[in-house]
Amino acid sequence: MFASASSHSGNELCLQRDGMAAFELLYKEYWYQLYCVAFKYTGSGPDAEELVQNLFEKIWRNRATLQVKNWGAFLTVSLRNMVIDFHRQQAVKNKFLENYQPGAATASMAEELEQEQLLVLIENHLHELPEKTQTIFKLSRYEHKSVKEIAGHMQLTEKAVEYHITKSLKLLRQHLRNYLNTYFTLL
């Protein structure tokens, strides 16, 4: 990916032995090439500069333990990994911003309020039904019990349970029709 340096072939640099002079030579030789690659994959000058800067900072911090035979290959792989991490972080950041923007929070709060209002209306209208029908409806819709489970629990036939559920749904449809029409019209 990178052309090697003229006099030292870029592979003979030893940061442990040559210290700051070797690091400066490495920086001057590869900085612009690394920046161009980072810019290509990030599309942002500041982000590309930061990635390359972080790469060289990491090299300097770890200079005592680094044993690199081919700086071009090492820098290429290191930058590639940093770009991958950058894109992962951006994806997490974007997802967070999508889910936690003030508009999203307000919308979800409004939805919760509307849902609470609807539940209050349902409860109010359920009181118009006989107690057995109310109980069957609540077991079916709130506790997610099957018709068979409700029938066994209340010692009724499955047909009787279906009758009570149908009766309660019919009543709720009648009473909530206006509310639902208004709600969906506003959307």
pLDDT tens-digit readout, 43-90:
888 989 999 999 988 888 887 787 878 888 888 899 888 888 888 888
**Domain architecture of the chain: domains with CATH:** 15-99 (1.10.1740.10), 106-186 (1.10.10.10)
- pLDDT of 152: 92
pLDDT digits (tens, 9 = 90+) for 134-148: 899 889 888 888 999
Predicted confidence band of residue 10 (pLDDT cuts 50, 70, 90)? very low
| 61 alpha carbon, distance to own chain's centre | 33
pLDDT at residue 101 above 90?
no
8 pLDDT exceeds 80? no
Residue 137 near residue 86, CB atoms below 8 Å: no
Please, which residues have CB within 8 angstroms of residue 33's CB and are 6 or more apart in sequence? Answer: 1, 2, 3
Q: What percent of the chain has pLDDT over 90?
A: 17
Q: What is the pTM (predicted TM-score) of this model?
A: 0.47
Distances (CA, A) of 13 to 18, 21, 107, 150: 7, 10, 59, 79
